[in-house]
Amino acid sequence: MKINRLRLLGFKSFVEPTELIIEKGLTGVVGPNGCGKSNLLEALRWAMGETSYKSMRGSNMEDVIFAGSQSRPQRNSAEVTLFIDNSNRTAPAEFNDSDDLEVTRRIEREAGSAYRVNGRDVRARDVRLLFEDASTGARSPALVGQGRVGEIVSAQPQERRRVLEDAAGIAGLHSRRHEAELRLKATEANLERLGDLIGQLT
Ligand code: ATP
C-alpha cells in the first residue's frame, strides 16, 4: 500500500485546493518558516484518524479549519484526501475490491469529523484499522515527529515493544482484540444481569 497523492481543501493554511504528489523515492518539502511544511504532515496524520487536537497544535479539532486571513474569511469546513495505491490488495477485506483507495476525512464547524473511503461513509475505526494493518497510521512510528527518536530511546520496554509491533503491522490485531475483549466483558455483564433476573423470577 502506497500513498500517491494528498489533497487538501481548507485545511489550516491550505485554503485553496492543494495537491501534493508523492512520487517514488524520496520526497522533500522545502520552504520558508511558516509556509506550511508541518501542516502537510499534520494533514496526513489527520486523514489517518488523529484524535488529539493537541498533537495538531490546536486547542480543539476545529482549529484545523482555515481560520481566515486579512484578505480571506474563515472557512466552515476542511477536507483532506489520501490517494492510495492498493494494487497489492493489502487493505482489509471491506475495502479490497479496488486497486485505488481514496480516504477522505472532512470536518465541519459544530458538526465534527466524518470519513469516507471511495465515496462510501465509514467509521473512524475502519480508517484506523486500514492504516494500522499497513504498519502506518496517525500514531505509528512510520511518522517520526520532532523529539520522537529521543522518546523511543528513553521509553520503557513495553512502549518499545509497541513500536516494534506497530512496525510489524500487528497494531490492527491488537485493536481488534481489545474491541473483542470489551464486547466479551459487556456480554458477561449482560449474562450476569440475566442470571440475577432469572433468580428473581424463580
Ligand atoms: P517552520 O519551518 O517554522 O517549522 P512550517 O513551514 O512547518 O514552519 P507550519 O508550522 O506548517 O509551517 O505552518 C504554520 C502556518 O500555518 C502559520 O502561518 C499559521 O498561521 C498557519 N496556520 C495554522 N493553522 C491555521 C489555520 N487554522 N488557518 C490558517 N492558517 C493556519
pLDDT, tens digit, for every residue of 183-193?
Answer: 999 999 999 99
**Distance separating alpha carbons of residues 63 and 65, to the nearest angstrom:** 5
* Residue from 6, 13, 76 to probe ligand 1 pocket by mutation (most atoms less than 8 Å from CB): 13
Q: What is the pTM of this model?
A: 0.82
Least confident of 35-49, 56-70, 128-142: 128-142
Rg of the Cα atoms in the chain: 20
Task: Report the pLDDT value the prediction gives residue 66, as an integer from 0 to 100.
Answer: 97
Kindly report the protein residue whose alpha carbon is nearest to atom 23 of ligand 1. Answer: 12
Q: How far, in Å, are 75, 81, 99, 122 from residue 118 at the CA level?
A: 24, 10, 11, 10
What is the mean pLDDT of the segment spanning 134-150? 77
Q: How far, in Å, are 12, 43, 58, 174 from residue 117 at the CA level?
A: 22, 16, 26, 23
User: Given the C-alpha cell 500513498, which residue does it identify?
Assistant: 3
Set out the domains of the chain in order of their start, with CATH numbers: 1-136 (3.40.50.300)
